[in-house]
Structure 1
Amino acid sequence: MTAPGRIRAAFVAAWLSFLRRRTAVFFTFFFPVIIVLIFGALVQTQPTGGGLFTEPAAYYVPGYLAVVVLFTPLSRVGSEVARHREGGQFEKLATTPLSRWEWLLAQTLVNVAIIGLAGLLLLGLVVLVTGAEIAFSPLLIPFVALGVALFCGVGALIGSLASSQDGVIAASNGIALPLLFLSETFVPPSLLPEWFRPAILLSPLTYFSRGVRAATYGPGIEPLAGLPTAPLPYLGILAALTVVFFAIGAAALPRTD
């Protein structure tokens, strides 16, 4: 069997495994709904006020997308790796032609499909609930796909290093929560201390959020450390980071348990 055939077979197995976990399916799509309802309908934006959520609703679209692009791959791939380790699956995998990078690519493609659907649901809700006026740029597709692949690599790394599934969840939340609010998603750089603003550039999620904002809400992107305001440079940076983190995640996967 060729590499594409092996990846396709692993993709189908992972997709069917996801569909069999009804709780996982429910919360994968229910979680974005809750986020939009809380921040979009209850908190709402107040452009004339002060503090958080003072920008127009369209400004926060990258933040809503970042929730699913960040949290879902970290927890799903990390937990899947931990389950494989606990069940001795990587030892069995080592006896098959399926390589570690092929296995991780199949898992990544499943997550791209799942999060792509969740992202569509989320965008529809944002427009419906908040009345946000956004440009549905075709660049949203590669931004979401690359963002998911990047954090699938990080999730694989977490799952390979954590001692258990509980450890994966704790580590994933410990990484994701700070990144979510310190990567120019819901909190504009102007609200952060000036000395801290350059640290935003250390987060790979920053390049996702700034790129998505440039594609969907161009006028609202703030100058930051000389970074561009066009989306394509961010797409290039995100692609490079995705290759790096995916390679690290694939290399970290255990050969045996």
Structure 2
Amino acid sequence: MSLPGRVSSETRAAAKSFLRRRTAVFFTFLFPLLIVVIFGALVQTQPTGGGLFTEAPAYYVPGYLAVVVLFTPLSRVGSEVARHREGNRFEKLATTPLSRGEWLAAQTLVNVAIIGLAGALVLAVMVAVTGAEIVLSPLLAVFLALGVALFCGIGALIGSLADSQDGVISASNAIAIPLLFLSETFVPPYLLPEWFRPLMDLSPLTYFSRGVRAVVTDTGPSAEGTVVAAWPSGPEPLFNLVVLAVLGAVAFAIGTIALPRTD
């Protein structure tokens, strides 16, 4: 069987495995919508004149999308790796033509499809609930795919190092929750201490946030909180796209190497 055939076959198997887990399907699609409703409708519609959630609704698009781009690959791929380890499946995988990279590529493709659907649903609900004015760009789909690939690689690394599925969930949350709020998603940089702002460049999610915000909005906040022109088609989204692609390739390679050959 050819490489495309092997990846395609494993992708179908991974998709069926996901669909059989109804709880995973439920929370993959429902949890982000709850975030949109809570923060977008209940909080966003009661501005206080300063502080959190007082920017234009479109500013928070990267944050809402990050909920699925970040949490879902980390927990799903990490848990899948942990299940394979507990069931000695990697030992069986070593006897087949399917390589570890091909296995991770199949898992990534499934996550790209799932999160693409969840992301589209999040955007639709957000626009309906908050009235956000966004620009739909083909680059948005590219950012989503690269972000998913990046965190699938990190999820594979977590699953390879954690001692159990419970350990995967704990480690995933410990990584995802700080990144979700400290990567230019829900909290604008000017609300954080000045000494901390350069550290945000160390988060891979920051480049996802900056790029997505640039391609879906016509305006963005300055360091003082005032509104200035953004770069929907300029170098800013392309720079973040390149950085995200490089980080994604590195994370995928490390995740592939970390996958056990045997159990």
TM range (shorter): over 0.9
Contact 1:46 1:56 in 2 (8 A): no
1:11 partnered with 2:11: yes
CA-to-aligned-CA distance 1:109-167 (integer Å, 9 cap, x gap): 00000000000000000000000001111110000000000000000000000000000
User: What is the CA distance between 1:218 and its match in structure 2?
Assistant: 3.8
Confirm or deny: 8 A CA contact 2:75 2:168 kept in the other structure: yes
Cα RMSD of the aligned pairs, angstroms, is 1.4
Residues 1-257 of structure 1 mapped to structure 2, 5 A cutoff: 1-44=1-44, 49-222=49-222, 229=231, 230-257=236-263
C-alpha distance in structure 1 between counterparts of 2:8 and 2:56, whole Å: 42
Contact 1:57 1:130 in 2 (8 A): yes
Q: Secondary structure at the match of 1:139?
A: helix
Deviations 1:7-53 (A, max 9, x none): 00000000011111111111111111111111111111566711111
Calculate the TM-score normalised by the size of structure 1: 0.96
> Are the structure 2 counterparts of residues 252 and 145 from structure 1 closer, same or farther at C-alpha, using a change threshold of 3 Å?
same
CA contact (8 A) 1:160 1:254 kept: yes
Question: Aligned partners of 1:149 and 1:222: how far apart in 2?
Answer: 30
Q: Distance in 1 between matches of 2:97 and 2:77?
A: 21
User: CA contact under 8 A between 1:45 and 1:55: conserved in structure 2?
Assistant: no
Amino acid at match of 1:8: S
Separation in 2, partners of 1:144, 1:163: 30
Which amino acid in 1 is paired with 2:62?
A: P
Q: CA deviation at 1:183?
A: 0.2
1:157-196 CA distance string (max 9 Å, x none): 0000000000000000000000000000000000000000
Structure 2 distance, partners of 1:132, 1:105, is 34
Structure 1 residues not aligned, in runs of 5+ = none
Unaligned runs of 5+ in 2: 225-229
How far does residue 79 in structure 1 lie from its aligned partner after superposition? 0.2
Distance 1:16 1:80, change over 3 A: same
- What code does the residue aligned with 2:8 have? R
1:10 is aligned with what amino acid?
E
Q: Tell me how far 1:77 sits from its aligned partner.
A: 0.2
Q: 8 Å contact 1:150–1:243 — kept in the other structure?
A: yes
For 1:9, give the aligned amino acid.
S
Structure 1 moving runs of 4+ over 4 Å: 45-48
